[in-house]
């Protein structure tokens, strides 16, 4: 029951039914469901013990992040900004705990993947104007963190590897065809948003898959086929926007990003330990760190338009250490798991290898796409942190790969049936 409550939470958080049926707001489902699921999961004595979750590496990273929030709240100018963001992030951290406790086998992992894929299909279907070909960039009706095409593109890029995993794992031809169709639709969804960051992130995900492929020629043919389809359906506005990324062709959006990134560096230089405060980047940019010679009428208050520069400016060096550390340690752990499985290749390891590649590919999509979007306080990294650890644990249990105990609770060198690797 708690597992299905988790799936319901994903639906409520991404689709936001209250955006379409305002009367549902009276039920407060977006608060009641996650809190109920979290409380039930923490109190249950299920397959995964709460103490195991607390000892995990990602939990320590997130606890460190929450401590930074507390310090920021004590030292910032406007405490309400920190409080509002903290309430959003703490909700995602609670769901991180639920995922860690409830997603403990491959079937449950597949259920989460299928739910996330279905949710993005629903969101796309509820925004049909996005596919109208009118050349305009449309906002996502569900609101929340899926505010515009850039936000939606990043989220879709993260889900595409999960869809590919389910397609490759499907044994029934019809199911495989359904997932293949959805995969093409998701790729097209990234293209029609006209999101340059989304397209670059998608390309990096494709490159990662190609590098991991044992059949690189077939992989290259598949990538070329997807590119041909994407180009065939891509609006002309996308190619024009891609051409404004460099040199003298920089458009206003790209120039604004560069100015915001420069301001983030100056914020961190002035406040290397504490930053300017969570949620303070736009107001600090407008009041104290606006570029020289730029008036208030020429450029509105800007966010950083980059997860890395946002957290650097708002939480200083400790913030960027958390963010980069969380991404890098999880990616490296996944790669270590893949190397270990490759050393002991067997048919029964194929599913586990696909799972780890899919999860790491999603992380690559987030890491690259997040460079062009302020997504630190979106749910993606918190959910991915949980799914990545769950995926590695599933692989260990089902393949014989184990962690050599070191007493500290940290991930140690992998072993296969007790033999260190």
Mean pLDDT of 378-400: 91
pLDDT over threshold 50, residue 403: no
Residue-averaged pLDDT of the chain = 84
Q: Name the token pair of 346.
A: 């067997």
Instruction: Specify the pLDDT at position 237.
Output: 52
Q: Which residues contact 149 (CB under 8 A, 6 or more apart)?
A: 130, 137, 138, 139, 140, 193, 194, 195, 198
Contact criterion met (CB below 8 Å) for 178 and 375 = no
pLDDT, tens digit (0-9, with 9 covering 90-100), for 362-378? 999 999 999 999 999 99
Distance CA 109, CA 376 (A): 24
Strand residues in 256-404 grouped as ranges (E) = 401-403
Mean pLDDT of 108-130: 91
Distance CA 11, CA 15 (A): 6
Which of 211-220, 234-243, 287-296, 390-399 shows the lowest per-residue confidence on average (mean pLDDT)? 234-243
Which residue reads 């449950």 in tokens? 108
Contact criterion met (CB below 8 Å) for 41 and 98 = yes
CA dihedral 189, 193, 194, 198 (to 10 degrees): -70
pTM: 0.88
Contact criterion met (CB below 8 Å) for 101 and 59 = no
pLDDT over threshold 50, residue 158: yes
Mean pLDDT of 246-273: 77
Instruction: Specify the pLDDT at position 24.
Output: 86
Which residue reads 């997807």 in tokens? 226
Q: Which residue has the higher pLDDT, 253 or 193?
A: 193
Which residue reads 């990662």 in tokens? 208
């Amino acid at each position: 029951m708690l597992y299905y409550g988790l799936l319901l939470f994903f639906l409520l958080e991404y689709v936001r039914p209250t955006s379409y049926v305002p009367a549902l707001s009276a039920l407060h489902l977006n608060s009641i469901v996650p809190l109920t699921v979290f409380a039930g999961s923490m109190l249950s004595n299920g397959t995964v013990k709460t103490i195991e979750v607390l000892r995990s590496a990602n939990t320590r990273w997130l606890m460190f992040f929450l401590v930074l929030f507390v310090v920021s709240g004590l030292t910032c100018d406007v405490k309400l900004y920190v409080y509002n963001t903290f309430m959003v992030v703490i909700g995602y951290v609670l769901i991180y705990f639920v995922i860690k406790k409830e997603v403990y086998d491959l079937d449950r992992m597949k259920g989460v993947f299928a739910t996330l894929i279905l949710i993005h299909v629903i969101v796309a279907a509820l925004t049909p104007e996005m596919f109208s070909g009118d050349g305009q960039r449309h906002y996502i009706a569900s609101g929340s963190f899926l505010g515009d095409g850039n936000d939606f593109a990043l989220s879709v890029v993260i889900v595409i590897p999960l869809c590919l995993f389910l397609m490759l794992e499907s044994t029934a031809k019809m199911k495989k065809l359904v997932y293949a169709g959805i995969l093409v639709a998701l790729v097209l969804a990234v293209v029609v948003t006209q999101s340059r960051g989304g397209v670059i992130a998608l390309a990096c995900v494709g490159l990662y898959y190609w590098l991991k492929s044992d059949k690189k020629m077939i992989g290259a043919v598949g990538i070329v086929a997807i590119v041909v389809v994407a180009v065939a359906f891509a609006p002309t506005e996308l190619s024009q926007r891609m051409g404004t990324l460099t040199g003298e062709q920089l458009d206003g959006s790209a120039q604004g990003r560069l100015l915001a990134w420069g301001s983030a560096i100056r914020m961190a230089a002035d406040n290397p330990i504490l930053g300017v405060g969570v949620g303070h980047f736009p107001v600090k940019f407008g009041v104290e760190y606006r570029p020289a010679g730029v008036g208030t009428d020429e450029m509105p208050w800007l966010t950083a338009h980059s997860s890395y520069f946002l957290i650097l400016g708002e939480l200083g060096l400790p913030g960027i250490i958390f963010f980069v550390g969380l991404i890098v340690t999880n990616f490296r752990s996944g790669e270590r798991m893949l190397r270990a499985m490759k050393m002991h290749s067997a048919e029964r390891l194929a599913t586990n290898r696909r799972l780890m590649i899919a999860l790491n590919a999603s992380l690559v999509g987030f890491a690259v796409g997040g460079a062009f979007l302020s997504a630190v306080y979106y749910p993606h990294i918190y959910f991915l942190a949980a799914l990545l650890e769950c995926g590695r644990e599933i692989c260990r249990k089902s393949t014989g790969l184990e962690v050599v105990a070191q007493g500290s609770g940290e991930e140690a060198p992998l072993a296969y049936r007790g033999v260190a690797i």
